[in-house]
C-alpha cells in the first residue's frame, strides 16, 4: 500500500488497484489527485510484474469532474493552475493507456467531465447500473480534456461526440453501453467483484499478448493498412518467440491450459 492522500493504491500479485479517494468532494479532480494519479500510473507502468490495473472510486460518485472550487481559488492564475493539473492528468492517462498491463475501469455513480474522460481511457470499462455519464465541460465554460477528444469520437463517431460535448446530455449506464462507451453493465453490488474477476483472468494471461493488443489498437487509427499489417507481423512474431508464446503454442497442441509467467 502506497501512501497517498486523494487516491488509494495497492498491489496484490500481478494486479494493482487505484481508487479515487475524495468521497466527500464527489471525487472531484484537484491538483493533488491529478499528481497522485500520475505517480500511481508511473508505478504501474514501471512494474514488470503487473498484468492488470483496476481503477475505481470510493463513495457515491466515480468522479464529478474537475474541482470547481479549487479552480475558483486560483483567481487570475486559474489558467496556469488548470494547465498544470491537465499536464498531470494527461501524463497519467498516457501511461495507463500505453502500459503493458490492461486497465479495467469500474464506474459507480456519476462520471462527469474529467471523470467521463478517465473512464474512456480504459481497456475494459464496467458500469454499475446506477452509473451515469456526462461531458459537462461547456456547462462551466470549459472544453474537454483528459483524452476525451481523442477517445470519444473513436468510440461513438464524430456526430455523437459533437452532441455529447456540446449539449452535455447525460447518459445512463445502459445508454453508454449501447453507444459502445462501456464494455458491460453490472449491478451496483457486483461492480467491484466483476472488476476483480476480470483482473484475475488477465493476471493469468500472457502479459506480452495484452501489451501488444493495446499497442496495435492505439496504432490502428493512424496507420494505413500495410503499415498496420507490418506492425502486426512484427509483434505477433515477438509474441511467438517469447517464453509465454512458446508455452501457449505448446499448451494448445497438448490441449491443456497454458501456464504463463
Which of 30, 67, 88, 145 is an active site residue?
Answer: 145
pLDDT digits (tens, 9 = 90+) for 110-143: 999 999 999 999 999 999 999 999 999 999 999 9
pLDDT digits (tens, 9 = 90+) for 92-116: 999 999 999 999 999 999 999 999 9
Query: Residue 71: pLDDT above 90?
Result: no
Summarize the chain as % helix, strand, coil (round to 5): 55, 15, 30
* CA–CA separation, 54 and 195 (whole Å): 7
Strand partners, 12: 15
* CA–CA separation, 22 and 24 (whole Å): 6
Q: Is 67 a catalytic residue?
A: no
Query: Residue 2: pLDDT above 70?
Result: no
Q: What is the mean pLDDT of the chain?
A: 96
pLDDT digits (tens, 9 = 90+) for 145-182: 999 999 999 999 999 999 999 999 999 999 999 999 99
Work out the pLDDT band at 1, boundaries 50, 70, 90. Answer: low
Given a contact cutoff of 8 angstroms between Cβ atoms, the answer to whether 31 and 39 are in contact is no
Percentage of the chain surpassing pLDDT 70? 99
- Looking from the CA of 51 toward its CB, the CA atoms found within 13 Å total 19
Given a contact cutoff of 8 angstroms between Cβ atoms, the answer to whether 29 and 112 are in contact is no
Sorted by where each begins, the domain ranges of the chain are: 7-203, 207-253
Given a contact cutoff of 8 angstroms between Cβ atoms, the answer to whether 74 and 43 are in contact is no
Q: Is 38 a catalytic residue?
A: no
Residue 223 burial class via C-beta count within 10 angstroms: exposed 0-12, middle 13-18, buried 19 and up: middle
**CATH 3.90.226.10 applies to domain 7-203:** yes
Given a contact cutoff of 8 angstroms between Cβ atoms, the answer to whether 240 and 227 are in contact is no
Amino acid at each position: 500500500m502506497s501512501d497517498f492522500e486523494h487516491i488509494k493504491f495497492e498491489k496484490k500479485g500481478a494486479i494493482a488497484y487505484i481508487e479515487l479517494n475524495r468521497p466527500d468532494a464527489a471525487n472531484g479532480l484537484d491538483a493533488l489527485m491529478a499528481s497522485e494519479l500520475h505517480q500511481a500510473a508511473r508505478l504501474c507502468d514501471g512494474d514488470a510484474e503487473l498484468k492488470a490495473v483496476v481503477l475505481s472510486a470510493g463513495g457515491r460518485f466515480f468522479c464529478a469532474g474537475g474541482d470547481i472550487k479549487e479552480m475558483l481559488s486560483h483567481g487570475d492564475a486559474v489558467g496556469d493552475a488548470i494547465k498544470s493539473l491537465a499536464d498531470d492528468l494527461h501524463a497519467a492517462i498516457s501511461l495507463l493507456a500505453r502500459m503493458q498491463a490492461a486497465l479495467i475501469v469500474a464506474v459507480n455513480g456519476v462520471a462527469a467531465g474529467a471523470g467521463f474522460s478517465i473512464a474512456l481511457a480504459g481497456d475494459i470499462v464496467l458500469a454499475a447500473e446506477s452509473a451515469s455519464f456526462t461531458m459537462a465541460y461547456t456547462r462551466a465554460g470549459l472544453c474537454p480534456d483528459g483524452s476525451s477528444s481523442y477517445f470519444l469520437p473513436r468510440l461513438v463517431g464524430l456526430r455523437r461526440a459533437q452532441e455529447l460535448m456540446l449539449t452535455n446530455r447525460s447518459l445512463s449506464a445502459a445508454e453508454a453501453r449501447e453507444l459502445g462507451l462501456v464494455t458491460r453493465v453490472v449491478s451496483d453490488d457486483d461492480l467491484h467483484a466483476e472488476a476483480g474477476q476480470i483482473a484475475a483472468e488477465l493476471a493469468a494471461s500472457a502479459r506480452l499478448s495484452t501489451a501488444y493488443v493495446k499497442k496495435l489498437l492505439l496504432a490502428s487509427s493512424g496507420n494505413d493498412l500495410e503499415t498496420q499489417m507490418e506492425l502486426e507481423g512484427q509483434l505477433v512474431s515477438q509474441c511467438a518467440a517469447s517464453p509465454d508464446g512458446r508455452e501457449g503454442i505448446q499448451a494448445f497442441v497438448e490441449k491443456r491450459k497454458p501456464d504463463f509467467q
